[in-house]
Amino acid sequence: MRLPDFGAKVMGLAADALFPRLCPGCGNRCDRPGRYLCWSCFSGIELFTDSLCDCCGRLATGEVGHRFVCSACRHIKPSFDRARSAGHFTGLLQHLLHQFKYSSALWLRNDLTDLLEGCLRAHFDAEQIDAVLPVPLHRLRKRQRTYNQSDLLSAELAKRLNRRNDLRSLSRTRTTGTQTRLNAIQRRENMKGAFKVTDPPMVAGRTLLLVDDVMTTGATLDACATALKKAGAARVWCITVARGI
Ligand SMILES: [Zn+2]
Ligand SMILES: [Zn+2]
């Protein structure tokens, strides 16, 4: 063991003894190095497995033994090429994402990125990705909230993939308000033209991975993908930590 590694390990053990990392799921000491969720709670998160729409990742009702595209995607094809989410937006995962987004629980970044990375490796060819982009917040909203949770996730994921984390090429042109009471069609209308590409040469001809915390109808990701495709992006893939239906 090299001395700096040894030093870092000793420091890590000392920090753990002084400030034990307690699992936000069960309250026990965390047994995963450098993380907060314990193995038991982490493996208890309900993940999406199979029978998903090939395009948007929506769960099929009933057993599907072949590749399929859901009726929503057949009706209006999204601008993104594929979207996938790691887990269901319920229970512990919903609680963690809420803490991460609204209560500055930024220490959850690695745990949440573990879920993103697992999902990415299961559904996409990471080698083909040229850049990782977060879904941007409007600058006024970002000033209010002080940080964008998607920036933090995309930065961590890009670092693990050894890819460029592109915070500049895509921007939000207006605030869009809360969408919780809108249905899928209203959300699509609400998001229309809400994003623009500020630096087209950085996206043209590239395979891009868009990152967000939660996907619901996919209207936000679709509006981002529309702007990116218009600027010449070759492929837009989307990944979120959770999906709520
Ligand atoms: Zn736990
Ligand atoms: Zn679909």
CA dihedral for 225, 100, 116, 152, sign (positive or negative):
positive
CA-CA distance, 214 to 88, in Å (whole number)?
A: 9
Amino acid at 15: A
Q: Are 210 and 80 in contact (CB under 8 A)?
A: yes
Task: Give Cβ neighbours of residue 142 (< 8 Å, ≥ 6 apart).
Answer: 148
Which ligand minimizes its atom distance to the CA of 77? 2
Which ligand minimizes its atom distance to the CA of 84? 2
Query: DSSP letter at 52?
Result: B
Which ligand minimizes its atom distance to the CA of 24? 1
Q: Are 151 and 167 in contact (CB under 8 A)?
A: yes
* Domain regions of the chain by residue span: 1-41, 45-243
| 212 Cα: distance to centroid of ligand 1 (angstroms) | 24
Q: Which residues pair with 134 in a beta bridge?
A: 211
| 242 Cα: distance to centroid of ligand 1 (angstroms) | 19
Q: Which residues pair with 29 in a beta bridge?
A: 22
Query: What is the model's pLDDT at position 59?
Result: 87
Phi, psi of 53 (to 5 degrees): -60, 130
Which ligand minimizes its atom distance to the CA of 21? 1
Which ligand minimizes its atom distance to the CA of 26? 1
Which ligand minimizes its atom distance to the CA of 72? 2
Give one word for 162, left, alpha or beta, with left for phi > 0 and alpha for psi -120 to 50: left
CB atoms within 10 A of CB 206: 21
Which ligand minimizes its atom distance to the CA of 52? 2
| 187 Cα: distance to centroid of ligand 2 (angstroms) | 16
| 61 Cα: distance to centroid of ligand 2 (angstroms) | 12
Query: What is the model's pLDDT at position 238?
Result: 98
Q: Are 38 and 23 in contact (CB under 8 A)?
A: yes
| 150 Cα: distance to centroid of ligand 2 (angstroms) | 23
CA-CA distance, 160 to 139, in Å (whole number)?
A: 27
**Can you list the residues of the chain whose pLDDT is less than 70?**
1-15, 17-18, 62-65
| 22 Cα: distance to centroid of ligand 1 (angstroms) | 8
| 23 Cα: distance to centroid of ligand 1 (angstroms) | 5
CATH of domain 45-243: 3.40.50
| 138 Cα: distance to centroid of ligand 1 (angstroms) | 35
219-230 vs 184-191: helix axis angle to the nearest 10?
40
Query: What is the model's pLDDT at position 8?
Result: 62
CA-CA distance, 87 to 10, in Å (whole number)?
A: 34
For residue range 199-218, list pLDDT tens digits in order.
999 999 999 999 999 999 89
Query: What is the model's pLDDT at position 1?
Result: 46
| 34 Cα: distance to centroid of ligand 2 (angstroms) | 36
For residue range 175-204, list pLDDT tens digits in order.
777 777 777 787 887 888 889 999 999 999
CA-CA distance, 169 to 200, in Å (whole number)?
A: 7
